[in-house]
Structure formats: structure tokens, C-alpha cells
Structure 1
């Protein structure tokens, strides 16, 4: 089944520099995204309660964004990815975390993906003290 792209925006009360540490480093991601995260070169390993998923780093822009592709999608030559991008409003200086991800083209799958991100971002806000 084909996947569809969806995007979400989460206002975050934190400096872009601090937020970037939490979305781009294994230690930062271990605080909220997965139980444990390791990286070897361009490959990140995410561990949740004993299960393990690997993702390939597609691009990273310091202080701004990180884009990864799950290895299953790399092996299937699928163009799907997930990206976490920091956006700062030029006027208000409000900081938001923009999420781009893909889910199977099914309303339940998309809602499940969004709910998962909402829960994870809630954990991130807790860790940042912005909840």
C-alpha cells in the first residue's frame, strides 16, 4: 500500500539550539523518541522495549533539521522519510517543531501516526520543561 505524507506543527517553549540537541543527537533522542538511540556514521539505531529499528541519516542542517529514512524503506527503495525541522517565527520568535512523516493511505494509519507523534512530542516538551 502506498503511503501518504502528513505534516504536523508543535509549538515548543525552548531555544532552537537546545531543541536541536534533542532532535539530532543520540543522547537527546534517547530522552524522548526511543528508550535508547545509537549512531554509527549515517545509521541511527532506535531501541524500544527490546525491539530495534535502524534509520539512515539523509540530511542534517545544524540548528535547523534532521531527516531520516527507516532502513526497511531504504532496502525497498522507497522515498519515504521522516523529518524534524525547527521553525522560528521571524516576528514573534515563537519556536515550533515541524514534523513530516508518512503513513499508509488509510485514515486510521494516519491518525495512529499523528497520535504517536503527539505522545512523543508531549514527552519531549516534558524533558525540555515546556509542558
Structure 2
């Protein structure tokens, strides 16, 4: 099994941290932009795309700050995290994504996140 490469992306999002947190941490919020549908039982979240299900465990979260998930089928320590960062001076809100992918899939994974965040911005009415 090869080690995955960690990558990070940052997106400026015009939203309050509280509203943004709702969209990254709740099944109803995540199903608006991240997947077609999302269900949860406790810490276990089921993400559905085109009828295919993927399960992820919620590893950590802090209200209005971040969520960290790990896909259930991964056998390594890879996770994906969405962290809300507020600039102390400008008060701009950013969503900081940390994720892991195979070396030859990093660019594709980044593109996928860019598309998903674009959907999130539309849902939020953010530019």
C-alpha cells in the first residue's frame, strides 16, 4: 500500500463561520453541496453519490471551527478536514481543506474539491 500525499486548499467564502459550519458538519448541510445525500448515525456518516454509498467516520469536530472525517474503507491514517479560518483583521472567512490522495491523483482530487466548493458557494449565495 502506497502512502498518500497530503494536500491543502484554501477558499475564501462569504459567509458567517456559524452558517458555514452548519454546511460542513451536518448531513442536511453536506447534502446541499458535498454529496447527493448524506445520512448519519452518531459518528458514522454515509455519503451517497449516484446511488453509490461511501461511509466516513467523524473523527473530530469543534463547533464553528472544523470537522475531520476518515473514509471507512481506508486502511491508513488519511483523513479529510474542513477548517474555517477567520482573518482577525479583515474578518474574511476561508474554508481550509486538508485531504490525502495517491500521488497521481492529487490534481484530480484538487479539481474535485474546487468543483464542490463552487457548489457550496452557490448554495451560500457567495461569489
> Which deviations, in whole Å up to 9, do the C-alpha atoms of 1:7-47 show, x marking residues without a partner?
00000001111000000000000000000000001100000
Give the aligned partner of residue 56 of structure 1.
57
Which of 74, 98, 108 is the equivalent residue of 1:100?
A: 98
Instruction: Find the residue that maps to 1:72 and give its secondary structure.
Output: coil
Find the aligned partners of 2:42 and 2:22 in 1 and give their Cα distance. 17
Please list, as runs of the form range in 1=range in 2, the aligned pairs for 1:1-131 lying within 5 A after superposition: 1-73=2-74, 76=75, 78-106=76-104, 109-131=105-127
> Which deviations, in whole Å up to 9, do the C-alpha atoms of 1:53-105 show, x marking residues without a partner?
000010010110000000011xx2x1000000000000000000000000102
Instruction: Find the residue that maps to 2:73 and give its secondary structure.
Output: helix
Instruction: Find the residue that maps to 1:46 and give its secondary structure.
Output: strand
Find the aligned partners of 1:15 and 1:42 in 2 and give their Cα distance. 25
> Which deviations, in whole Å up to 9, do the C-alpha atoms of 1:90-127 show, x marking residues without a partner?
00000000000001022xx1000000000000000000
How far off is 1:2 after superposition? 1.7
Instruction: Find the residue that maps to 1:115 and give its secondary structure.
Output: helix
Q: How many residues align?
A: 126
What residue ranges of structure 1 are gaps of 5+ in the alignment?
none
